[in-house]
Structures are given as C-alpha cells and as structure tokens.
A = this chain, B = another copy of it.
Amino acid sequence: MPNHESYLREATELALANVAEGGRPYGAVIVRDGEVVARAANRIHATNDPSDHAEMVAIRAASQQLGRPKLDDCIVYASGRPCPMCHAAMRLAGVKQGYFAFTAEEAEAEGLLSAGIYAELCRPLEEQPMQVRHLPLADDPSPYRAWAERKGR
C-alpha cells in the first residue's frame, strides 16, 4: 500500500523549495509501482512556458522516462489541487488516481489562481470570458475522416 502522505509531503517540499528559488508554490511527484518516476516544480519563472505547471512538467518527464504517453499505472501526487489544465492532462494520460495536499481555496486565500476557474470552464462556451467560437469550414475535408480512413475504419 503506497504511503500517500509521504509522496504528498515530497511534492509539498518541492513546492516550498521552488518558492525559495523565486518560483510558484507548486510541486508534483509521479509514482509507479512504489517508485518515483518523475519529480517537478512549477517552472514558469524559469522557462516562460505557461504550460510548465508542476504536474504538467512531471507528466511530460514521466512519459519520456517510461517511453509511452499512457500513464495509466501511475499515481500523481500534487502539493496543490491540480488546475483544470493539469487535471485534464492527467485524465487524458490515463491516470486513474491522484492526491493533493492543499486546496484551490487555500491558494485563492493567498492571492493565487482563483478557485473560480474550475467553474468558469464548465460554463457553456458563449458564457466564458475566453471567447472560443465554432467556425465551420463547410467545404474542407475533415481531418477526423482522413484519420479514420487511414485507420481503416
């Protein structure tokens, strides 16, 4: 039985160390069969890459470590509740289990990303502050159809 608290504590220590280096307060550890596959902290201060959240950096590292995009046998430990981007990335990678130590509300109380973004993204597209619009290209071939044909469907 994995020691969830111990891995969460490690993720939290990565977050604290990252703050000391001028970064954001997030860390993540990915574990498979009781072995740590990847450790990461938020890297945006160092790379300017807005996707370099701790969980995302760890997911990318784990995929390279394991040589496959599926992480369905991995557990993700995050110091804070994964944001919607990282949550969806975990889900798309097939992760079945994750743990976090600090909540989105605790982050919000210290002036970090609002917990409200989860709810925002669940509203219909036309009601979200980011305007994402469907503009059909009626006469263009569908990439989806092309993909299905290549797969012999």
Q: How far is the CB of A19 from chain B (nearest CB, A)?
A: 5
59-87 of chain A: CB within 8 A of chain B: 59-60, 63-64, 67-71, 79-85, 87
- Contact: A143 with B87, CB < 8 Å? no
Given contacts A50-B63, A85-B89, contact A8 B137 (CB under 8 A): yes
Chain B contacts of A89 at CB under 8 A? 50-51, 85
Using a CB–CB cutoff of 8 Å, the interface residues on chain A facing chain B are 4-5, 8-9, 12, 15-16, 18-20, 22, 24-27, 44, 47-51, 56, 59-60, 63-64, 67-71, 79-85, 87-103, 106-107, 109-113, 117, 120-122, 128-137, 140-148, 150-151, 153
Identify which of B68, B95, B143, B151 contacts A130 (C-beta below 8 A): B95
Chain B contacts of A109 at CB under 8 A? 144
- Contact: B134 with A81, CB < 8 Å? yes
Chain B contacts of A49 at CB under 8 A? 60, 63-64, 69
